[in-house]
């Protein structure tokens, strides 16, 4: 991934504010009203102070001033609340659109990208980094709107009181900017590094949670803890440094602002002694000086969130800049597919230096039952990935009903395949929703019929709520039961072509016999590709493809291949001995 600069990340983030101009203007109006009323209160307080003299207090002059103050302060509070309401809406609308764009982009990325990246890091970008952007924007908007108006307003009122003392304030103020800019750069670099390590840690935890059985089986708990502690230690060191730099900002700018306040006090006192300034004016001016420097303190106080937000935004936009799959615009839709598939001189590899499939040729007639066998890593699952266009061929072409699949839309191609993978997937929802996943408009009767055909109905009825039982990631079900649900999902809307990748690997022999008869019925008249090691699932195939190192080295029926006494015969002998 190319690293995105802070400036570019901010520019792209601001583009998400389009369409919210009215809210932004409303927030600015409320911020301006609230600040100006607060500043005017300072003028009134100065006038009230001048009502107190050595001769006594002029209550008749002070009363209307106090009345005005009593009206202005609640009005300013209401306007400030409205400003925060608008900035909240702006932030959450922006973040909502950002999340939607990220998730939409995720679906457009090729599987090669997903397979080659840590899933935990991707999750961290979609969840943690977006949350960091949300927090930064929420504080940034409110401080920006009130801060800008406060600075301009206080300057105006200070100039009307005494322009010479105002000049002292303006000359000393840039020191705050210089200090904040230096520390801000250090913060950004550290927060960017912190986000990257947090993504690494999320990926590590995600992998280990999914592999707990293996970790416990091999007794690798200590090794995992050591690796976790190493990543966690790097995150701690980076986090401490990031917080240290950000913590320097506020006290540094406060020190500069205190110098400004002291300068105003000295010069103002001298002017008051010479008679050019009233005590009330000096009181008001000191308050203005304090209010003028306050936004700088507040902005420096939220620099941590702002830098963290920009570092996270950079990671998000780097992810969104990843190359998407080629568009399907203008491509043909595969309709009324007969199930005929062809592969002509197909070459494919996951990395250029490691060739896998080379010059593969295959013709599959409509309705054929094709079994694919071979040792691990020979390219069986890769062949399935190419048929489904999860990956595109490096050279050569694959045709469906005589049409190159690259000329077809991916959705129309994949909708003609029913697939049951070795790694079963169920999601959090009811059993009924899981079976209905491939056909949302299926009736309850269709769901039950599909479950019965897949021999899943009996165990579903034994669940606490039957078809309405909520399952999460399948932890409540055995491996075989998850397989049966996956098969029922296909049976509810059988397509013209089927792919079964070790589909019965988690099912006991008795259940496998039952499911095999259901598969025979399902596959009748449909082109089917079965990837399997079990002899029982491939013996009756119309054609068996024997793969080795990315090539089809033998093909034929079970009896024909045994008679040849070649590589397939060796595989079968190894199965029987196993």
pLDDT digits (tens, 9 = 90+) for 431-489: 998 889 878 888 999 999 988 888 889 889 998 899 999 887 656 787 778 888 888 88
Contact 489, 438 (CB under 8 A): yes
Same domain as 404, residue 280: no
Convert 399-427 to b/e letters by CB count within 10 Å (16 or more is b).
Answer: bbbeeebeebbbebbbbbbbbbbeebebe
Give the pLDDT band (50/70/90) at residue 52.
Answer: confident
Q: pTM here?
A: 0.68
Max distance between CA atoms of the chain, in angstroms, equals 125
Residue 569 lies in a domain: yes
- Give yes or no for residue 413 having a pLDDT over 50: yes
At what angle are helices 279-301 and 21-50 packed, to 10 degrees?
Answer: 150
Highest mean pLDDT: which of 25-29, 287-291, 303-307, 531-535?
25-29
Query: Is pLDDT of 290 > 80?
Result: no
For residue 159, the model assigns a pLDDT of 80
- Give yes or no: residues 140 and 277 share one domain: yes
Q: What are phi and psi of 247, to 5 degrees?
A: -70, -20
Residue 23 has pLDDT above 50, yes or no: yes
Q: Is the pLDDT of residue 289 over 70?
A: yes
Number of H helices, E strands in the chain: 21, 14
Sign of CA dihedral 331, 332, 333, 339: negative
Strands (E) in 95-231, as ranges, are none
Q: Are residues 313 and 364 in the same domain?
A: no
Among candidates 140, 148, 133, 58, which has minimal Cα distance to 98? 133
Distance separating alpha carbons of residues 191 and 312, to the nearest angstrom: 8
Domain coverage including residue 559: 341-577
Among 37, 309, 4, 13, residue whose Cα is nearest residue 149: 37
- Mean per-residue pLDDT for 529-556? 79
Average pLDDT over residues 167-185: 71
**443 in Cβ contact with 427 (< 8 Å):** no
Task: For residue 278, list its beta bridge partners.
Answer: none
Tell whether 205 is covered by a domain. Answer: yes
Establish if 1 belongs to a structural domain: no
Alpha-carbon gap, residue 399 to 345, rounded angstroms: 12
The percentage of the chain sitting over the pLDDT mark of 70, rounded to a whole number, equals: 86
pLDDT at 576: 64
Report the CATH number that the domain containing residue 308 is assigned in CATH.
1.20.1560.10
**347 vs 507, residue with greater confidence:** 347
- Are 482 and 506 in contact by the 8 Å Cβ rule? The answer is yes
3-state secondary structure of 420: strand
Q: Over 50: is that where the pLDDT of 361 sits? A: yes
pLDDT band at 397 (very low <50, low <70, confident <90, very high): very high
Residue 327 placed within a domain:
no
Confidence check: pLDDT of 254 > 50: yes
Per-residue confidence at 94, pLDDT binned at 50, 70, 90? confident
* Domain contains 333: no
Average confidence (pLDDT) over 526-554: 80
The number of beta carbons lying within 10 Å of the beta carbon of residue 540 is: 12
Which pLDDT does position 448 carry in this prediction? 92
State the Cα–Cα distance between residues 140 and 307, nearest whole angstrom.
10
Q: Is residue 330 situated within a structural domain?
A: no
pLDDT score for 139: 67
**CATH code (residue 357):** 3.40.50.300
* Exposure of 308 in the CB half-sphere (CA atoms within 13 A): 27
Q: Are residues 10 and 81 in the same domain?
A: yes
Least confident stretch, 2-6, 9-13, 57-61, 174-178: 2-6
Domain count, the chain: 2
Same-domain pairing of 423 and 388 = yes
One domain, residues 412 and 491: yes
How confident is the model at residue 405, as a pLDDT? 92
d(CA 344, CA 320): 35
Residue 1 has pLDDT above 50, yes or no: no
One domain for residues 162 and 53: yes
pLDDT average, residue stretch 401-415: 90
Residues 6+ apart with CB under 8 A from 389: 405, 406, 410, 413, 414
The two three-digit tokens of residue 413, written as one number: 């191609």
Q: Both tokens of residue 25?
A: 């203007």
404 and 311 in a common domain? no
14 and 161 housed in the same domain? yes
What's the mean per-residue pLDDT of the chain?
Answer: 80
Percent with pLDDT over 90 in the chain: 5
Inside any domain, residue 246: yes
**Domain identity same for 496 and 561:** yes
Is residue 416 pLDDT above 50, yes or no? yes
The answer to whether residue 328 is domain-embedded is no
- pLDDT score of 396: 92
The listed range with the strongest mean pLDDT (247-251, 465-469, 553-557) is 465-469
What's the token pair of residue 414?
A: 């994949």
Q: What pairs with residue 373 in β-bridges?
A: 546
Q: State residue 439's pLDDT score.
A: 83
Residue 504: per-residue pLDDT:
58
Residues 278 and 192 in one domain: yes
- CA 469 to CA 465: how far, in whole Å? 4
Query: Phi, psi (5° rounding) for residue 443?
Result: -80, 165
Q: Is 455 helix (H, G, I), strand (E, B) or coil?
A: coil
Same domain, 313 and 347: no
| Predicted pLDDT of residue 335 | 87
């Amino acid at each position: 991934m190319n690293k995105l600069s802070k400036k570019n990340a901010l520019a792209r983030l601001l583009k998400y504010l389009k369409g919210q101009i009215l809210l932004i203007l409303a927030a600015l109006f409320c911020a301006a009203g609230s600040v100006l009323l607060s500043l005017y209160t300072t003028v009134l307080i100065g006038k009230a102070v001048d009502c107190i003299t050595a001769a006594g207090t002029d209550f008749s002059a002070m009363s209307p001033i106090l009345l005005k103050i009593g009206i202005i302060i609640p009005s300013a509070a209401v306007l400030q609340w409205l400003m925060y309401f608008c900035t909240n809406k702006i932030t959450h609308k922006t973040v909502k659109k950002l999340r939607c764009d990220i998730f939409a982009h995720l679906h457009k990325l090729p599987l090669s990208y997903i397979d080659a990246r840590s899933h935990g890091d991707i999750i961290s970008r979609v969840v943690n980094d977006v949350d960091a952007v949300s927090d930064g924007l929420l504080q940034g908007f409110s401080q920006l709107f009130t801060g800008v108006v406060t600075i301009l307003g206080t300057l105006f009122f200070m100039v009307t009181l005494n322009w010479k003392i105002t000049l002292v304030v303006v000359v000393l103020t840039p020191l705050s900017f210089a200090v904040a800019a230096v520390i801000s750069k250090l913060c950004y670099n550290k927060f960017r590094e912190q986000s990257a390590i947090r993504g690494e840690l999320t990926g590590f935890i995600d992998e280990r949670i999914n592999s707990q059985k293996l970790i416990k089986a091999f007794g690798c708990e200590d090794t995992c803890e050591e690796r976790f502690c190493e990543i966690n230690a790097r995150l701690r060191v980076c986090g401490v440094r990031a917080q240290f730099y950000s913590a320097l900002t506020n006290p540094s700018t406060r020190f500069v602002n205190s110098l400004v306040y002291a300068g105003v006090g000295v010069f103002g006192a001298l002017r008051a002694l010479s008679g050019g300034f009233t005590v009330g004016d000096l009181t008001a001016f000191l308050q203005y000086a304090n209010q003028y420097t306050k936004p700088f303190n507040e902005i420096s106080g939220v620099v941590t969130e702002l830098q963290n937000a920009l570092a996270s935004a950079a990671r998000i936009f780097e992810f969104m800049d990843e190359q998407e799959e080629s568009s399907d615009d203008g491509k043909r839709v595969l309709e009324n597919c007969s199930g005929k598939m062809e592969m002509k001189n197909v070459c494919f590899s996951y990395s250029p230096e490691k060739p896998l499939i080379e010059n593969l040729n295959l013709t599959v007639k409509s309705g054929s039952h094709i079994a694919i066998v071979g040792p691990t890593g020979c390219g069986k699952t890769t062949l399935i990935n190419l048929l489904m266009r999860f990956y595109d061929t490096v050279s050569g072409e694959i045709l469906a009903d005589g049409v190159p699949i690259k000329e077809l839309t991916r959705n129309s191609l994949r909708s003609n395949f029913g697939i049951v993978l070795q790694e079963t997937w169920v999601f959090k929802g009811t059993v009924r929703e899981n079976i209905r996943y491939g056909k949302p408009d299926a009736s309850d009767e269709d769901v039950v019929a599909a479950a019965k055909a897949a021999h899943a109905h009996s165990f579903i009825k034994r669940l606490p709520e039957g078809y309405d039982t909520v399952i999460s990631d399948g932890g409540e079900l055995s491996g075989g039961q998850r397989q049966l649900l996956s098969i029922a999902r296909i049976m509810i809307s059988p397509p013209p072509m089927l792919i079964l990748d070790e589909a019965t690997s988690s099912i006991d022999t008795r259940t496998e016999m039952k499911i095999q008869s259901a598969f025979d019925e399902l596959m009748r008249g449909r082109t089917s590709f079965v990837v399997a090691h079990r002899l029982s699932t491939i013996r009756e195939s119309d054609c068996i493809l024997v793969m080795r190192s990315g090539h089809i080295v033998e093909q034929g029926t079970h009896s024909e291949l045994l008679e040849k006494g070649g590589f397939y015969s060796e595989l079968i002998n190894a199965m029987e001995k196993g």
